[in-house]
Chain A
Amino acid sequence: DAKTTQPNSMESNEEEPVHLPCNHSTISGTDYIHWYRQLPSQGPEYVIHGLTSNVNNRMASLAIAEDRKSSTLILHRATLRDAAVYYCILLRGNQFYFGTGTSLTVIP
């Protein structure tokens, strides 16, 4: 099975950068790495995804290790609205394999 491992929780000060790690040692060559986040009482929302190269978008950056066995989601300046559970996911075929997620607390 495709599996990801994340820390249960992390804290960050507001307006500081946040680095959320994920291990996916069982990743195969065609698996995509996706990140979604879930705010309280909402469904997950897309953050970013990548295959081999680092990726940037308006929400975040994704740094992927050279061996692809780990990745890091980077929020450049955490805001209170970024408080959520962040899921690192492997996309294998058309199926998502969710990790247990990291609950991010942003401290004002």
Chain B
Amino acid sequence: KAGVTQTPRYLIKTRGQQVTLSCSPISGHRSVSWYQQTPGQGLQFLFEYFSETQRNKGNFPGRFSGRQFSNSRSEMNVSTLELGDSALYLCASSSLRDSFRNEQFFGPGTRLTVL
């Protein structure tokens, strides 16, 4: 079974631009979560989608948004980029067949650099 894929793997943008990152979950997984990883703040939860609905949201400004499509693929968008948005953005999917287990499968991440 193919793992979680994220595109692009690397991205360079300038301040003020916007960016869209894509995540394709493992086939059959309906939950997709997004995380930001930086050296200073570590891994932080952004949001989680299940069946095209955002179920949970972390403590990030409204510039960070996302969506999920009917095939469970998800995108996240960051508008008006700031230097501090430079980070590794990770996507994880879960089957949620067992709601108490919730093992998440992570993709390799998209490395975003804001200049």
Contact = CB atoms under 8 A, between A and B. Distances in A.
Nearest to B94: A94
Given A91-B102, A94-B48, A95-B56, A43 B108 contact: yes
Q: Secondary structure at chain B's binding surface: helix, strand, loop or mixed?
A: strand
Contacts of A95: 45, 48, 56, 58
B34 to A, nearest CB: 11
Interface centre among A41, A44, A100 (most CB of B within 10 A): A44
Interface string B97-114: 000111111111100000
B56 A43 contact: no
Interface in A30-52: 32, 36, 41-46, 49, 51
A97 B45 contact: yes
A87 B92 CA distance: 15
Contact-size category for B: 20 to 34
A89 B58 CA distance: 15
Given A49-B103, A94-B102, A44 B48 contact: no
Contacts of A98: 35, 42-45
B106 A43 contact: yes
Contacts of B44: 98
Contact-size category for A: 20 to 34
A98 B56 CA distance: 16
18 contacts: A36-B106, A42-B106, A43-B90, A43-B107, A44-B90, A44-B92, A46-B104, A46-B105, A49-B101, A87-B43, A91-B102, A94-B31, A94-B33, A95-B45, A96-B33, A96-B43, A97-B45, A99-B42
Interface of B: 4, 31, 33, 35, 42-45, 48, 50, 55-56, 58, 90, 92, 100-109
